[in-house]
């Protein structure tokens, strides 16, 4: 019978273990579900015969907190958790968040800032020579020198600051098994330099075969433009077939070496990983605190794929999961769906069948599987590649099978839908199925902006593509007798966006008659093209200069323009319009965004205009207005 992996010495001894092979230290509460990296890596190791204990959210202020299970036989595995600890703790404004969805009861403060580094240093103080393998999203995106937004500084590889021996970057299932087998065979951790998907340190770069030398850390720190060049080299080598080993210097006797990524998982390998004996919930010791809030989002959802060839500049998926899409079989997903149906809390609704991009169910083209992804062009940007396979037939059949399962009332798709990829498919079957069966009232999509100048920096399609999708979506809804609406996700202050482009977006929303309740300010997280633009003012793809909005007040103005009808934003919007030379948008005409300042003479009111501060949505029936506002309030 399946059970949770040990979280206490007592549970370890109940299994008859005197010591674990590995202790997995994580900044999250222990949730044994395949949506959590800790669960996947620990269960994969268990399936290969290794004994793994889970040390969840140790008290980093006490050195002995990592000694709960004693010294592990093979080593410590360390992760900050499912989220970067700094993103977990701070808004883009750098103000502290008040809750943590990955902690029992949503309590904040149960993990340190920069958790991956803190945990590793804590272990190193307690066990001087035990192998430490660092993994997870926080380490994966900081594996080489990088810009750190929270300190506004250029930092070394986290491998050095953490004192870990190896970084297992990316998803890590293959590399962690190879590392474990090497340690089991008696190979010293310093000699494990041959595993794909890992980063290690060396004093002798000549020992690295056919390596690509990156600019040194000191050079990049002095000249940020060199970091843009280095990042482009790294970005071009994120494919396991084409990717080369890369070396970064930290002086005469210290070098960080990144091996090429681990190969993508086959469908059979994906199926095997998701069929492991997960308990599919959080550890019962958290029940008294109300459980772990993050489990609510994934309890009745299915992970269909991983990897993404969308290529959005602000997304780190290229660096973490790669551009090659990997998928599970229909049989695997149907078996997991039956587990959901058997859950006493299941009400008939599967909340999601997706991944990074829901409608990617195969590699963008078959050449990727033998030749790797292209280095000099994206699959969808600036337009779909002629070799792109945009078929959705496999996804349609999968969704039909899931809908047909006894006990299933509705199958929703809440992962992102890539609308330009959808339009590239000449067969409308998937879009029709989506509208007919898989949304409830509104579909959320992410055009992100409407200015082509900004979209180009974002790696997103021109606005005309989004307009074509909107037209097609409305046409099919009307033909099917449905009233279902589009909710666009928008981003303010992305590199390339000046006040001029922000005003253009506000005018677009004015003409649309819609004020979004949820707006995302650009958040410069490590290892994205957009973050490199933010730090260097250079687009790494072509070396061109990029305008970057860094002033907090201007960022507030750009955000306020998107929500210009909110009375609380009036002063910011007025200031923004004046600075942009667009005072023509202050007045009483229909095109105006805001009224003149209070105290000025007012002409007779034009009853055809909405009152200042209202958020009219002419495309949405009145009875729907409150519903849509509430949707955004819940998510924001």
Q: What is the CATH number of the domain that holds 35?
A: 3.40.50.280
pLDDT of residue 630: 35
Q: What is the pLDDT of the chain when averaged over all its residues? A: 93
| pLDDT tens, position by position, 227-270 | 999 999 999 999 999 999 999 999 889 999 999 999 999 999 99
pLDDT of residue 600: 59
Give yes or no for residue 566 having a pLDDT over 50: yes
Mean pLDDT computed over 305-329: 95
> What is the token pair recorded at 53?
């204990």
Dihedrals phi, psi of 103, to nearest 5 degrees: -120, 145
427 to 392, 393, 417, 437, 574: CA distances (angstroms): 8, 9, 16, 17, 46
**How far is C-alpha 633 from the geometric centre of its chain's CA atoms?**
21
* pLDDT band (50, 70, 90) for residue 599: low
Cross-strand pairs, 134: 78, 167
Give yes or no for residue 142 having a pLDDT over 90: yes
| pLDDT tens, position by position, 52-103 | 999 999 999 999 999 999 999 999 999 999 999 999 999 999 999 999 999 9
372 domain residue, yes or no: no
Percent above pLDDT 90 for the chain: 90
Mean pLDDT computed over 301-309: 96
499 domain residue, yes or no: no
Q: Which residues contact 407 (CB under 8 A, 6 or more apart)?
A: 341, 346, 348
Q: CA 219, 222, 226, 232: dihedral to nearest 10 degrees? A: 90
Cis previous bond, 433, omega within 30 = no
239 domain residue, yes or no: yes
Cross-strand pairs, 79: 26
Residue of 143, 427, 413 whose CA lies nearest to 305: 413
Which residue carries 């086959």 as its tokens?
266
Percent above pLDDT 70 for the chain: 94
95 domain residue, yes or no: yes
Separation of alpha carbons 592 and 584, rounded Å: 7
Separation of alpha carbons 617 and 565, rounded Å: 11
168 domain residue, yes or no: yes
pLDDT of residue 2: 67
| pLDDT tens, position by position, 20-65 | 999 999 999 999 999 999 999 999 999 999 999 999 999 999 999 9
| pLDDT tens, position by position, 175-224 | 999 999 999 999 999 999 999 999 999 999 998 999 999 999 999 999 99
User: What's the structural domain count of the chain?
Assistant: 1
Give start and end residues of each alpha helix (H) in 36-114: 37-47, 85-89
Mean pLDDT computed over 388-404: 97
Mean pLDDT computed over 108-135: 97
Whether this model's pTM surpasses 0.85: yes
Give yes or no for residue 490 having a pLDDT over 60: yes
**How far is C-alpha 313 from the geometric centre of its chain's CA atoms?**
12
Give yes or no for residue 479 having a pLDDT over 70: yes
Concatenated DSSP letters of 598-633 = TTS--PPP-TTSPPTT----TTS-HHHHHHHHHHHH
Give yes or no for residue 451 having a pLDDT over 60: yes
Domain of residue 234 covers 9-258
> What is the token pair recorded at 526?
């490590």
574 domain residue, yes or no: no
Give yes or no for residue 606 having a pLDDT over 50: no
């Amino acid at each position: 019978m399946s059970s949770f992996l040990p979280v206490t010495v007592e549970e370890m001894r109940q299994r008859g273990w005197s010591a674990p092979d590995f202790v997995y230290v994580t900044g999250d509460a222990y949730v044994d579900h395949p949506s959590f990296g800790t669960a996947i890596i620990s269960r994969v190791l268990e399936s290969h015969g290794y004994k793994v204990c889970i040390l969840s959210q140790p008290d980093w202020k006490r050195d002995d907190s990592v000694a709960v299970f004693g010294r592990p036989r093979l080593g410590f595995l360390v992760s900050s958790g499912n989220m970067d600890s700094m993103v977990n703790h701070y808004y883009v404004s750098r103000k502290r968040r008040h809750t943590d969805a990955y902690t029992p009861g949503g309590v904040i403060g149960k993990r340190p800032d920069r958790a991956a580094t803190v945990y590793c240093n804590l272990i190193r103080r307690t066990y001087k020579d035990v192998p430490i393998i660092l993994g997870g999203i926080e380490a994966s995106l900081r594996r080489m020198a990088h810009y750190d937004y929270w300190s506004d500084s250029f930092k070394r590889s986290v491998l050095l600051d953490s004192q870990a021996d190896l970084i297992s970057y990316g998803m890590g299932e293959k590399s962690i098994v190879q590392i474990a087998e090497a340690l089991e065979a008696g190979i010293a951790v310093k000699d494990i330099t041959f595993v794909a998907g890992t980063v290690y340190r060396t004093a002798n770069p000549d020992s690295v075969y056919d390596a690509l030398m990156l600019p040194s850390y000191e050079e990049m720190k002095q000249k940020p433009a060199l970091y843009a060049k280095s990042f482009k080299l790294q970005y071009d080598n994120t494919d396991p077939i084409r990717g080369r080993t890369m070396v970064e210097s930290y002086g005469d006797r210290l070098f960080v070496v990144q091996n090429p990524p681990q190969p993508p998982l086959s469908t059979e390998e994906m199926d095997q990983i998701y069929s492991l004996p997960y308990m599919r919930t959080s550890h019962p010791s958290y029940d008294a605190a109300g459980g772990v809030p993050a489990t609510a989002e994934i309890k009745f959802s299915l992970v269909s794929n991983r990897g993404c060839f969308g290529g959005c500049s602000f997304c780190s998926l290229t660096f973490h999961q790669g551009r090659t899409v990997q998928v599970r079989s229909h049989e695997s997903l149907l078996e997991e769906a039956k587990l959901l149906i058997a859950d006493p809390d299941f009400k008939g609704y599967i909340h999601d069948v997706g991944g990074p991009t829901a409608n990617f169910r195969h590699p963008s083209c078959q050449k990727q599987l033998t030749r790797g992804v292209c280095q000099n062009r994206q699959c969808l940007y600036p337009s779909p590649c002629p070799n792109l396979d945009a078929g959705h037939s496999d996804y349609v059949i999968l969704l039909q099978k899931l809908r047909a399962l006894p006990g299933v009332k509705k199958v929703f798709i809440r992962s992102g839908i890539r609308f330009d990829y959808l339009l590239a498919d000449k067969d409308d079957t998937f879009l029709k199925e989506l509208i007919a069966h898989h949304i409830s009232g509104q579909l959320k999509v992410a055009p992100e902006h409407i200015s082509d100048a900004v979209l180009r920096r974002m790696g997103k399609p021109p606005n005309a593509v989004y307009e074509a999708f909107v037209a097609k979506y409305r046409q099919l809804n009307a033909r099917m007798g449905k009233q279902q609406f589009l909710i666009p996700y928008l981003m303010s202050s992305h590199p390339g966006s000046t006040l001029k482009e922000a005003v253009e977006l506000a005018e677009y929303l004015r003409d649309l008659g819609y004020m979004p309740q949820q707006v995302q300010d650009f958040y410069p997280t490590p290892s994205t093209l957009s973050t490199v633009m933010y730090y260097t003012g250079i687009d790494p793809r072509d070396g061109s200069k990029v305008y970057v909005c860094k002033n907090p007040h201007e960022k507030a103005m750009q955000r306020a323009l998107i929500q210009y009808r909110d009375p609380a934003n009036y002063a910011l919007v007025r200031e923004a319009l004046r600075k942009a030379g667009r005072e023509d948008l202050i007045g009483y005409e229909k095109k105006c965004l805001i009224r003149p300042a209070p105290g000025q003479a007012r002409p007779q009111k034009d009853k055809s205009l909405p009152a200042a501060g209202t958020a009219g949505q002419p495309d949405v029936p009145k009875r729907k207005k409150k519903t849509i506002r509430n949707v955004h309030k819940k998510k924001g």
